[in-house]
Structure 1
């Protein structure tokens, strides 16, 4: 009796497990060489010929055209890592791939998938406890946060800009929007602008939006500015119903035009009388109204989006007003300065230093689209890890030291576990070694030799990682070299990689419609 359609394709047992594991390993391998400060970049070209050059794991996996469902699970590992903590995507994907590789070896030794899954979950629990033991007893001050940011950005494309300089900018941005309720990460934006060099990247205490003044004669900069936001058109409103009027004489025409001019002048005068210095409107401003406002030195931006209006309100404390006659000083926000700048064909408005400012912007510059895009990705990751470190207050050694330590803890615990599950726990420990091994391989060193030396140094010193000292890569204490990571990044990598690997290992039947 046939249950499945004749068009269905079914793979079962070892073949299904092997196919899924192979797909997961392939995705993991695609990003493995990007890991660490000496990681390589990938060039991704889509069907339209658009090129992305990056070593950001999440970006690479998102840009790849992946169809295999098991491979897609590894992509989801990176997505989960990115969403939860903002960094460590490559580590999570590589760890998931190596867990699959170790599981494949166990399956070939006739260890049942259920036993592997149980062992992996037990090992993950031990690993998470070991991460707690690695948390450093230090104050999370600006210096430490800058070290976290540098660790995140080292090896990524920063357009020649020193990571230490960029780290100061990142920490400055996070500090400005930190409050008793924690870090309001959404209040930090990144605005990219091609042109100049990456050294022109700066922190703007406020917002940057793509807007130009409504009239050429308006001021380009206003200091100590009162700011208003109007959700109303400053012009002759067009009715919803078409209407025609018969004009019998030139006097009637002139009277109609005069009435229109009077209405426009009234709009302008109402704005002028309000005393506002800078006006943002979400609707159109008639050219004649704009001219009158320009003559009074009122900087006006018209037809801005609702999203931009919310940003202006957030940065200045201004309240949006739906009727011109309701506009008053009580609705005004404040900015230390509102200025406009032109970069090539692009006009930008900077709203800086609002009295109620709850927004900052990292204004990213670079010579090409590729440079600013990669710099933006590096800053995004740094902002996220600094936020994670500040929110939790917990950091651990980087440079592979934490992975060496938790692998040692898992391996030691495995000795006390009976049955075949011990093999799975030991395999989990071996899988954790992929991080220091990959870091070594990406620096041109022999991974096995370095791993042996790292284990020996860890046993002797209690903390050992693969640190960069100028042009050389040596084994040392990463904390002394300022290489630290948020503990949450390590936790999330272990949890998400374990979940994906165990899910794939448990699959023994794949049914696909053709």
Structure 2
């Protein structure tokens, strides 16, 4: 029974109290459209190099200072159905190519806003869908004509920088000159002979407090920041030409699964028991040393006696308590993890040029310099990022991961389009021509699609402090084709550094 004493009937009787139910074009469709439009308004101001950072406080009261659209929307508790689908589309875009999540949300919001306006004017949904499909077909047909360059040698730092620089600049323009060359160097280090075999996870990031972003460096191999006062269990802190044995278990002799009791009746038996244990550890360490092993990595605790004998023969012992870091080290040095503390075989051993402990900032780090593989690449490269704040470190880490993912996507299709809104404006002009030639109601949907594409140069102009209307007018006149050319100046985009509207457009190469 409801509070008014009347029985609850219909759909509301099946849903929990407080649930809202909408139906029809004026309720359900418009509610979903409005939700997507508001979501797009939230992220659009963060697009581009001059986009604004957002302060997000999630439900766990964790603070994020970021302009990454994927981070912003993933921390929001969105309840609208269509808005959730838009967020899922942006997340899928991030997984596929690593970038353009803000473009997906902003363009999706603009498209739905245009469709919602057409619905209010009386255009039926079928005509809108058909118009959007015609616009999509035209876009797929036009995009190959807009290609301005192709990535050359993926093993060359300068070619990689062509891809990396514009992607990272859109996220952190202030640190592009510092970080973009480091990403290019790290990717070049781990690039296999066949670029399509690139594994983005092979570029690791170690975030360390202190100094500035300009002090960031690239290490060929692994850098493991330690949460302990000192990462080494013993006194050996450096080895050359390291031969590495890795164990995903504590470094101690096997014990029985059930509890046992040893009865010692006198001091001689106690001494004999201790000597037997020492003899076992001494024998195992000597066997490891005979194989050339000089570096032990354990996921668990290393026994004191084992560490004692390792120090005597010059074996470095490191405890790593993260299974993910253990897997990354194994991949970097070519070792295989062993689940029991026993004598390794040759195929289980890994190798690196040098392993040592280095104090960076306020942390001690284990540094493993990798050897080149048969194809000339390193297994893993690490970018050591320095900054003063946790928020900046986390945001740069996310930006680096997205940028490397873009390089992976570029290996599948090396073609490059004009940036800075040039491609979107060229497509918008082509769709407007298509709409003028169409005689049916689909022309209104095609026009809405064309107007939605102009959202990109409009946002770039707004965030750069330019008059967006003047910039769009000038861009539109440049992109309109002449009688002698099929396309206009399709490589003209928004100049974010312009100080006057008359200089707000320039040639964009990537």
Contact kept, 8 Å, 1:103 with 1:116, in 2: the verdict is: yes
Contact kept, 8 Å, 2:209 with 2:362, in 1: the verdict is: no
Deviation of 1:25 after TM superposition, in Å, equals 0.4
Contact kept, 8 Å, 1:149 with 1:170, in 2: the verdict is: yes
Deviation by residue 1:198-236 (Cα, 9 ceiling, x = unmatched) = 1122222112224454434112x2222222223554324
Query: Which residue is equivalent to 1:285?
Result: 302
Q: Matches of residues 65-214 of structure 1 in structure 2 within 5 Å?
A: 65-141=77-153, 142-157=157-172, 160-161=174-175, 163-179=176-192, 180=194, 181-211=196-226, 212-214=230-232
Deviation of 1:43 after TM superposition, in Å, equals 0.6
Distance 2:213 2:36 in 1: 37
Deviation of 1:403 after TM superposition, in Å, equals 0.2
Distance 1:146 1:432 in 2: 27
- Greater length-normalized contact order (CA 8 Å, ≥ 6 residues apart): 1
Alignment partner of 1:228 out of 231, 239, 245: 245
Alignment partner of 1:466 out of 484, 491, 494: 494
Aligned with 1:4: secondary structure? helix
Distance 1:165 1:471 in 2: 25
Distance 2:221 2:356 in 1: 11
Query: Which residue is equivalent to 1:40?
Result: 52
Distance 2:159 2:427 in 1: 22
How many residues align structurally?
477
Distance 1:471 1:152 in 2: 23
Q: 1:259 to 1:457 in 2, by over 3 A?
A: same
Contact kept, 8 Å, 2:296 with 2:318, in 1: the verdict is: yes
Query: Which residue is equivalent to 2:287?
Result: 270
Deviation of 1:240 after TM superposition, in Å, equals 1.4
Query: Which residue is equivalent to 1:488?
Result: none
Query: Which residue is equivalent to 1:375?
Result: 396
Please give the TM-score of this superposition, normalised by the length of structure 2.
Answer: 0.87
Please give the TM-score of this superposition, normalised by the length of structure 1.
Answer: 0.87
Contact kept, 8 Å, 1:317 with 1:354, in 2: the verdict is: no
Gaps of 5+ in 1: 485-514
Deviation of 1:347 after TM superposition, in Å, equals 3.1
Distance 1:412 1:470 in 2: 29
Q: Matches of residues 271-350 of structure 1 in structure 2 within 5 Å?
A: 271-302=288-319, 304-321=321-338, 326-343=343-360, 346-350=363-367
Deviation by residue 1:275-294 (Cα, 9 ceiling, x = unmatched) = 21212133432112112212
Distance 2:169 2:29 in 1: 37
Deviation of 1:309 after TM superposition, in Å, equals 2.8
Q: RMSD over aligned Cα, in angstroms?
A: 2.3
Contact kept, 8 Å, 2:357 with 2:367, in 1: the verdict is: yes
Deviation of 1:425 after TM superposition, in Å, equals 1.0
Alignment partner of 1:60 out of 66, 72, 95: 72
Distance 1:426 1:19 in 2: 23
Gaps of 5+ in 2: 1-7, 481-487
Query: Which residue is equivalent to 2:235?
Result: 217
Deviation of 1:307 after TM superposition, in Å, equals 2.7
